[in-house]
Amino acid sequence: MIKVRLSESDPTILSFDGEVLECFFIDGSRRFHISHIEGVQFEPNNKGKYLLTIKLKHSPLLLWVDEAGAAKVRELAAEMQKGMGSTKV
């Protein structure tokens, strides 16, 4: 299980157990089964932040990440991509 806080200034936390991605926001939470995720991208912008894009079946989930969370989010993205390739429902 991987848990990561995206930013020191944002309380958003992501948790991935190999099959379900849980997103905990200040105003609620959402869960996504890996079979509902079509792709994951993690890329820097030119202002010292990173954009995590989780491509869902109908709309993307866009999350900003700061330098403090970047290494753990890279690990999360890699685990999600591995899970997307191996999970069949």
- Helix or strand run (H / E) with residue 72: helix 67-86
Q: Residue 88: its pLDDT value, please?
A: 57
Q: Residue 85: its pLDDT value, please?
A: 76
Tokens at residue 11, please? Answer: 């309380």
Q: How far apart are CA 5 and CA 86, in angstroms?
A: 26
Per-residue pLDDT reduced to its tens digit, 39-88 = 999 999 878 889 999 999 888 999 999 988 999 999 999 999 998 877 55
Which of 47, 45, 48, 54 is closest to 76 using CA atoms? Answer: 54
Would the pLDDT of 10 be above 70? yes
**pTM exceeds 0.85, yes or no:** yes
User: Mean of the pLDDT values across residues 25-38?
Assistant: 94
Positive or negative, the Cα torsion across 54, 55, 61, 65? Answer: positive
Give the position of tokens 């969370």.
Answer: 69
Give the CATH fold of the 2-86 domain.
PH-domain like (2.30.29)
